[in-house]
Homo-oligomer: A and B are copies of this chain.
Amino acid sequence: MSQTANVSSTASLIADPARMSILTALLDGRALPAGELAYAAGITAQTASSHLGKLLDGGLLALETAGRHRYYRLAGGHVSHAIEALAVIQPTGPVRRKAPTAQASALRNARCCYDHLAGRLGVALTNALRERRYIIDAPEQRFAVTAAGTTWFAGIGLDVPAIKATRRGLARPCLDWTERSHHLAGPLGVRLLCTMCGHGWLRRVPGSRAVQATPKGQAALKSQLGITDADWRCD
């Protein structure tokens, strides 16, 4: 994809401190002449001219000629948008420790890890599946589904043979950040979360990675796999 080459070349334009000073001076939308931008960036006119030409070619600036002055301005709102998006990314500094909020513990209890279930519930669910030998450890960082497991998954409406495995297999363990244990990932994990949400057992919280278990879901977890609230809820 030539898109990646394009992104990095654009980023390299912003990467130079002198050019960034020029862009900063123009962030408010004004159009400034080359000489003033050179002064703002603390460089000579020749150097600034080189930078301005590159920014122009890169599509970051627009040019407006007036007499012997040449006024430069940002090419559009998308440029300032990109700069602001970059400003959000901060180097990893000192680790800040904060008391876990209610939201944080909800995330720790049950959350999405991309498209599969993670957190204490994800780990508890995976352990229950392993204890019942519905899934077993397999080589190359994978889980295999046993015959009993296929039957059990079918019982909740999940057709295992119909799932096509990716390059990394049908199911695999995924390390859980908070629990330092594994939960079920891979296509099977994705479908399992989907199915449980479809039954109304679990509910994804909009705009968050948190997952809630409904009363119906709590009952199902207990009857199907013997998982009680105490096994994973910790507020």
List residues of A whose CB falls within 8 A of some B CB: 1-17, 19-21, 24, 29-30, 56-60, 64, 66, 71, 75, 78-79, 81-83, 85-93, 96, 98, 104, 114-115, 166, 175, 177, 180, 187, 190-191, 194, 206-207
Contact = CB atoms under 8 A, between A and B. Distances in A.
Contacts of A57: 91-93
Nearest to A60: B89
Contact of A194 (B6, B60, B93, B206): B206
B86 A10 contact: yes
30 contacts: A1-B98, A1-B104, A4-B20, A4-B24, A8-B15, A8-B19, A8-B20, A10-B86, A10-B87, A11-B12, A11-B14, A11-B20, A12-B15, A14-B15, A57-B92, A57-B93, A58-B89, A58-B92, A60-B89, A71-B175, A75-B89, A78-B180, A82-B86, A85-B86, A86-B86, A115-B206, A115-B207, A187-B206, A187-B207, A190-B207
Number of copies: 2
A16 B96 CA distance: 26
Given A5-B17, A24-B4, A190-B207, A89 B82 contact: yes
Question: By DSSP majority rule, is chain A's interface helix, strand, loop, or mixed?
Answer: helix
A192 B182 CA distance: 33
Contacts of A90: 6, 59
Contacts of A98: 1-2
B11 A64 contact: no
A59 B90 CA distance: 6
Given A58-B89, A66-B175, A78-B88, A83 B7 contact: yes
A7 B64 contact: no
Contact of A78 (B6, B16, B66, B89): B89
A33 to B, nearest CB: 10
Given A78-B89, A82-B88, A85-B81, A11 B7 contact: no
Nearest to A14: B11
A206 B163 CA distance: 10
A191 B30 CA distance: 17
A214 to B, nearest CB: 16
A91 B58 contact: yes
Contact of A59 (B58, B64, B92, B207): B92
